[in-house]
Amino acid sequence: MLPSTFGLVKTTLLDFPSLVAAVVFTPGCNLRCPWCQNPGLVHAPWETTLVSLPEVLEFLTKRKGVLQGVVLTGGEPLFHPHFETLVSEIRARGYQLKLDTNGTFPQRLERLDAAQIDYVAMDLKNAPSRYALSAGLPVASPVLASSLQLLAERWPGRSEVRLTWVPGLNRLEDLGELASFVRKAVSEAGVTFWVQGYRPGAVLDPLHAGTRATTDAELEAVVDALAELGVPASRR
């Protein structure tokens, strides 16, 4: 089933490359990233600002012609077994779609019609051996590898991997392992790699409330190190 309520940002110029878009947030996630900055969408009780699916669809119907795209994010959209129903509803209204995913549901990702999803962004949290620190629980690296392979095979040139560099969780000494994990998809198959900095704010785990922001120098060091390891990356 789909959730009964959703988050909605009515306009964004930043989240869908080259398009004016709305952002639809699905509540619910299988991970417990301590630094997650959408804590009200991870588990119930949900944020009080969520709206019903009919309200979301009515808004998108009225805004067609002003908006060109819809970003589907969360939480984790693929946490919901019948997520493709939402894809079909929005696609029927003439929108291009971008999916944000944590990459832990490759079977559900594979089930989607690649022609209905115009762009896919996968959040990669850390090197595989340290993934549980960043995700809040263990994630089998073959699961993530399967999702990376799907991006490379089904969305070449229309997908990206995003690494949020969180001080204290991500380390330069682990980039060799991370680079080996993503190199084939990024270097050979046209999946873009972005590195973005962590910005302090509300987080899921109060113990991480004092985590500082990533510095520009740290981001530059990560991008340079990845390039030396054969993974072309850019700052965001």
Residue of 218, 200, 217 lying closest to 209 (CA atoms) = 200
Look at residues 120, 125, 116, 113 and name the one whose alpha carbon lies nearest to residue 149. Answer: 120
Range of the domain at 32: 5-235
What total of structural domains would you count in the chain? 1
Residue 185 has pLDDT above 90, yes or no: no
pLDDT confidence of residue 1? 73
Using the predicted structure, report yes or no on whether residue 45 has a pLDDT greater than 90.
Answer: no
Distances (CA, A) of 218 to 130, 166, 181: 19, 10, 21
Please, which residues bridge with residue 161 across strands? Answer: 122, 193
Integer Cα distance of 172 and 178 in angstroms: 10
Q: What is the pLDDT of residues 58-74, one digit of tens each?
A: 999 999 989 999 999 99
Please tell me the predicted confidence (pLDDT) of residue 49.
87
- Reported as a single tens digit per residue, the pLDDT across 65-101 is 899 999 999 999 999 998 999 999 999 999 999 999 9
What span, in angstroms and rounded, lies between the C-alpha atoms of 133 and 26?
24
Give the C-alpha separation, 197 to 215, whole Å: 7
Alpha-carbon span 113 to 121, nearest angstrom = 16
167 DSSP assignment: B
Place of tokens 């309520």: 5
Q: At a CB cut-off of 8 Å and minimum separation 6, what does 65 contact?
A: none
Contact call for residues 169 and 134 (beta carbons, < 8 A) = yes
| β partners of residue 5 | 52
Tell me if 120 sits within 8 A of 101, measured CB to CB.
yes
Q: Tokens 């944000």, residue?
A: 100
CA 149 to chain centre: 16
CATH number, position 151: 3.20.20.70
Model pLDDT for residues 113-151, shown as the tens digit of each residue = 999 999 999 999 999 999 999 999 999 999 999 999 999
pLDDT for 56 beyond 80: yes
Read off the pTM. Answer: 0.95
For residue 47, the model assigns a pLDDT of 81
Q: How confident is the model at residue 2 (pLDDT cuts 50, 70, 90)?
A: confident
